[in-house]
Amino acid sequence: MHPFDVELNRRLAALREQNLWRELRRVDSPQSPRLAIGGKTFLNFSSNDYLGLASHPVLKEAAIHAVEKFGAGTGASRLICGSLAPFHELEERLAAFKGAEAALTFATGYATALGTIGALLGKVDVIILDKLVHACIVDAARLSGARIRVFAHNDLNDLEAKLKWAAQSATAEDGARRADILVVTESIFSMDGDAAPLGEIVKLKNRFGAWLMVDEAHATGIFGRDGRGLADELGVGHQIEIQMGTLGKALGASGGFICGSRALIDFLVNRARSFIFSTAPLPAAAAAASAAIQLIQSPEGETRRNILRERIGQFQSATGHRTPVISSAIIPVVLGEETRAVAAAAKLREQNIFVPAIRYPAVARGAARLRVTLTADHSADDIAELVCALTPVINHQS
């Protein structure tokens, strides 16, 4: 064997030993409550398609129409010649939806975080992250070169301590520019499904003159008026300088976005490298996302949110499972050791139920879990089947 592959196989063997080996499972069906895998049908509790829009006829129709009118590809980055009409329509809709001056979309949420944080911060600046923020925010912080501080998850005292430190050390001048401080958190956390105390965080960052970026990947479409997000629900949206969201979860399409001031968006168009140096995403994705933004603000959107809430309530009362105070669609069943989570997921698959085992590095070592996600397309019977299969697992939770 080539020495290169020998080395990689050695590293892979180490992953297997730690129960951290992962592999792709080919799915032969659209995203829905039922997945076709390896000739079998599984009840799917793994998708972030919370409102069941990924295969919705209105989104499919919008995507098909965009392909017919604008083609399959975009030919270049947005700044060269790829800034097709569907992106502008989507951004106008997003800005209006969030009540912001402007919006900018990126190919993925990952690229959104990387481009935005990298544009705003340099090595003189300080970035303060919640311990549990998504990997893309951690990577973005590292790439920006800013000094990184991490506060304990949702811990306001620790955040305040980090802000105090940052405010003191940020007074140092570096050439013409004073150091800036950016606090980044999520509104609904991706692996625990709990919520950040955004009202208090806003007060703190205002007190210290810091900026705030909130990633609403798992709240967009679900919380707030017409699904505007948790910041809207808590009435603090307009006090958050950088409002981030994704288009690939409850909105059923793909991509990421930033909403904020006109100055912020103009600045990102000029400085966000993942936006500038990357071919524009597919017009079909933008059109599907646009249709989703409309749909979630319609009576059907409200109905879907109500069904989702009902399903979450059904699950909670049937299992007595203690979930975070807020009823998000993400239900972590923390099992601890990696082997336990992997075994529990395998056991569920034997019963044709698909729930992912989430392990390091998605969560801390020793905090492995089943991550159950519910959607508006699940029936009450689907939830009952899940509860039945999951009860023995929950009862043996560490």
Ligand X SMILES: *Cc1c(COP(=O)(O)O)cnc(C)c1O
147 lies in the site for ligand X, by CB under 6 A: no
Residues of span 347-366 touching ligand X by CB under 6 A: none
The three-class DSSP label of residue 298 is: coil
Closest CA relative to residue 70, chosen from 262, 263, 290: 290
Options 26-34, 213-221, 282-290, 338-346: segment touching ligand X (CB under 6 A): 213-221
In the bound state with ligand X, the residue whose beta carbon lies nearer, of 246 and 314, is: 246
- Which residue in the shown chain puts its C-beta closest to ligand X? 109
109 lies in the site for ligand X, by CB under 6 A: yes
As given in the structure block, the two tokens for residue 324 are 């975070």
Q: In whole angstroms, how close is the CB of 113 to ligand X at the nearest point?
A: 6
215 is catalytic: yes
The three-class DSSP label of residue 89 is: helix
136 lies in the site for ligand X, by CB under 6 A: yes
Q: Map tokens 């059907």 to a residue.
A: 300
Q: In whole angstroms, how close is the CB of 54 to ligand X at the nearest point?
A: 13
192 lies in the site for ligand X, by CB under 6 A: no
249 is catalytic: yes
Options 34-42, 102-110, 219-227, 323-331: segment touching ligand X (CB under 6 A): 102-110
Q: In whole angstroms, how close is the CB of 261 to ligand X at the nearest point?
A: 22
Catalytic site residue from 44, 46, 47, 48: 48
134 lies in the site for ligand X, by CB under 6 A: yes
Among 186, 233, 338, 382, binds ligand X (CB under 6 A): 186
Among 132, 141, 217, 335, binds ligand X (CB under 6 A): 217
By the 8 A CB rule, do 232 and 225 touch? Answer: yes
Distances (CA, A) of 178 to 14, 202, 203, 278, 382: 45, 21, 22, 31, 55
Options 27-35, 104-112, 279-287, 290-298: segment touching ligand X (CB under 6 A): 104-112
In the bound state with ligand X, the residue whose beta carbon lies nearer, of 133 and 357, is: 133
The three-class DSSP label of residue 106 is: strand
Among 194, 215, 233, 382, binds ligand X (CB under 6 A): 215
In the bound state with ligand X, the residue whose beta carbon lies nearer, of 370 and 393, is: 370
What count of residues does the chain have?
A: 398
As given in the structure block, the two tokens for residue 376 are 């508006």
Residues of span 232-251 touching ligand X by CB under 6 A: 246, 248
Residue type, 136: C
186 is catalytic: yes
190 is catalytic: yes
190 lies in the site for ligand X, by CB under 6 A: yes
Catalytic site residue from 91, 125, 192, 215: 215
Options 63-71, 212-220, 322-330, 343-351: segment touching ligand X (CB under 6 A): 212-220
141 lies in the site for ligand X, by CB under 6 A: no
DSSP element (H, E) containing 357: strand 357-358
Within 10 angstroms of residue 323's Cβ, the number of other Cβ atoms is 19
By the 8 A CB rule, do 124 and 166 touch? Answer: no
Q: How far apart are CA 94 and CA 299, in angstroms?
A: 18
* DSSP per residue, 152-187: -TT-HHHHHHHHHHHHHHTTSEETTEEP-EEEEEES
Among 115, 118, 193, 256, binds ligand X (CB under 6 A): 256
Residues of span 299-358 touching ligand X by CB under 6 A: none
Q: In whole angstroms, how close is the CB of 103 to ligand X at the nearest point?
A: 15
In the bound state with ligand X, the residue whose beta carbon lies nearer, of 217 and 222, is: 217
218 is catalytic: yes
Q: In whole angstroms, how close is the CB of 134 to ligand X at the nearest point?
A: 4
Catalytic site residue from 125, 186, 338, 377: 186
Within 10 angstroms of residue 225's Cβ, the number of other Cβ atoms is 12
Long-range contacts of 52-58 (CB under 8 A, 24+ apart): 52/252, 52/304, 52/375, 52/376, 52/377, 53/250, 53/251, 53/252, 53/253, 53/292, 53/295, 53/296, 54/30, 54/252, 54/253, 55/30, 55/31, 55/252, 56/252, 56/292, 56/295, 58/291, 58/295
Strand partners, 37: 27, 40
Give the residue numbers annotated as catalytic, written as ranges: 48, 134, 186, 190, 215, 218, 249
Judged by the rule CB under 6 A, the positions of this chain that interact with ligand X are 108-110, 134, 136, 186, 190, 215, 217-218, 246, 248, 256
